[in-house]
Amino acid sequence: EIVLAQSPGTLSVSPGERATLSCRASQSLSSSFLAWYQQKPGQAPRLLVYSTSTRATGIPDRFSGSGSGTDFTLTISRLEPEDFAVYYCQQYGGLSWTFGQGTKVEIK
């Protein structure tokens, strides 16, 4: 089973600043199968990015994904107040799905 490790656990950022979130896989995975989600308190997760870098429908272009092999990144270019949330990476492989443990982006 591929394990995903996200870092940092918590990221303190001021509105308007850039946030860079990391997701590292325990073994190389296809970039086609790496996705990112945003979750706010009391809500279901929302798909942001799939196939490493493709934004889901309606996701603003300040969200961008990149990476390959074992290292993947979600970048939020200019944080808006509504972007403060928990972010999860997720991979599919070998007939199973796994999530990272999440990165909380909080207001500095």
Partner 1 sequence: EVQLLESGGGLVQPGGSLRLSCEASGFSFRDSVLAWVRQAPGKGLEWIATFGGYGGSTFYAESVKGRFSLSRDTSKNTLYLQMNSLRAEDSAIYFCANSNPPLNYFDYWGQGTRVTVSS
State the Cα–Cα distance between residues 2 and 7, nearest whole angstrom: 16
Q: Which residues contact 57 (CB under 8 A, 6 or more apart)?
A: none
State the Cα–Cα distance between residues 2 and 25, nearest whole angstrom: 7
Binding mask 61-90 for partner 1 (x = CB under 8 A): ---------------------------x-x
Binding residue (CB under 8 A) for partner 1 from 50, 53, 55, 73: 50
Q: Is 3 in the site for partner 1 (CB under 8 A)?
A: no
Q: Which stretch binds partner 1 (CB under 8 A): 14-22, 35-43, 60-68, 69-77?
A: 35-43
Q: Is 100 in the site for partner 1 (CB under 8 A)?
A: yes
Strands (E), 28-99: 34-39, 46-50, 54-55, 63-68, 71-76, 86-93, 96-99
Whichever of 33 and 70 has its CB closer to partner 1, that residue is 33
State the Cα–Cα distance between residues 90 and 96, nearest whole angstrom: 11
Q: Is 101 in the site for partner 1 (CB under 8 A)?
A: yes
Three-state DSSP class for residue 33: helix
Chain contacts with partner 1 (rule: CB under 8 A): 1, 32-33, 35, 37, 39, 43-47, 50-51, 56, 88, 90, 92, 95-102
